[in-house]
Each structure stands twice: as structure tokens, then as C-alpha cells.
Amino acid sequence: MKIIVFHGSPNKNGSTKILVDSFIKGASATGHEVDLIDVAHANLHPCGGCVHCGYEGPCVQKDDMEVLRKKILASDMMVFATPLYYYGMSAQLKTLVDRFCAINSSITSKNMRSALLAVAWNADDWTFEALQAHYQTLVRYLNLKDQGMILGYGCGTPSMTQRSSYPDEAYRLGLSLL
């Protein structure tokens, strides 16, 4: 299976990356081809809402989206990896998701798989409710098949994350993919 992982943290070596690396290690161990995309540092502009794409591309903006479009549509699974910023995904990852506007039908018709990897400093039981709702809405809207969510409560620093069970959970999620 071809998997594309969208690393949405502006912190290249933070807690989100720890989960990403663990997931990739697990998925690669079972023979999956994984492409890691650093969307936080990609040349992506927000959707302008012009609808020039006709909801099925190409976008009038000349940035990295056309390359990402090809990679997305060549994949079987998308993994959204993000730190929790004010109870939602990072703005960098949200910028990419908003640009799906130009490829909605193509994504929907592929019946792709998906997963969510997220970390947060907060450890309250309600910490991830809004992010989970958003992710589940994307799954439903884009006709994705959810393979799981790793929600790292209390992962405010890389050392906190490394000491937690979440890297092992991310590894097992990657390993479990058929």
C-alpha cells in the first residue's frame, strides 16, 4: 500500500514527529511504501475560494499543491499528523486540507484509508474532542476508511512524548495495516 503522511507541525523534531517516525517504522516493517510530506514547511497558500478549479482542479495558485495532488492521488492512504493548537489541527495542515477543494471528487472516488496522529500538552479527557469531530467529518465527507487515531495526551515536549505509550501505539498502528 502507498501511504502519504502529512506532517503538519512547524516544529520539525517535536512530539508530532516522534509519532510520525514510529508510525512510518511500523508501516515500513510490513512492506508499505510511505511518503512523508512536511506540509508545515511546504510552499502552500490558503485556498482563495475562487472556485476556478471547478472543485476538481487544477488550482490557479502556483505552489506545491500540484505536486502534492499527484502524490495524494497516487496513494492508498493519507495520515494526518498534527500538534493540537487551540483544539484543532495546525494551521499548516489545515491549509493543505482546505486545498482538497480542488480534488474532492478524485479523493472521494478512491475510497482511501486514513489515520490521525496528534499530540497535545493538555491531558483533560475533552482535549481532542474538536479535532476528533473535524477528522471524523473529513473521513465521512471524503469517503475515507478510518484506520485509527493516536491521540497523545500530555505530550507537551519531545521527552514527555518519548516516555509515553504513544510512540508504541503509533508503531502498532502502522504495523497493523493490511
pLDDT at 57 over 90: no
Task: Decide if pLDDT at 176 tops 90.
Answer: yes
**Could you give the CA distance from residue 53 to residue 55 in angstroms, rounded to a whole number?**
5
3-state helix, strand and coil shares in percent for the chain, rounded to the nearest 5 = 45, 20, 35
Alpha helices in the chain (DSSP H): 15-29, 65-73, 91-99, 104-110, 129-141, 158-162, 166-176
Q: Looking at the predicted structure, is the pLDDT value of residue 30 above 80?
A: yes
Convert the pLDDT of each residue in 89-140 to its tens digit: 999 999 999 999 999 999 999 999 999 999 999 999 999 999 999 999 999 9
- The CATH number of the domain holding residue 59 is 3.40.50.360
Amino acid identity at 13: N
pLDDT, position 58: 84
| Strand segments (E) across the chain | 2-7, 33-38, 77-83, 113-119, 145-152
Confidence of residue 177 (pLDDT cuts 50, 70, 90): very high
Per residue in 62-76, pLDDT tens? 999 999 999 999 999
- Residue 55 confidence (pLDDT) above 90: no
**What's residue 93's pLDDT?**
98
| pLDDT at residue 130 in the model | 98
CB atoms within 10 A of CB 52: 12
Residue 54 has pLDDT above 90, yes or no: no
Mean pLDDT value across the chain: 96
What is the chain's length?
178
In angstroms, the first-to-last Cα distance of the chain is: 8
Nine-digit cell string for 75 = 496513494
Domain that holds residue 112: 2-176
Task: State the total domains in the chain.
Answer: 1
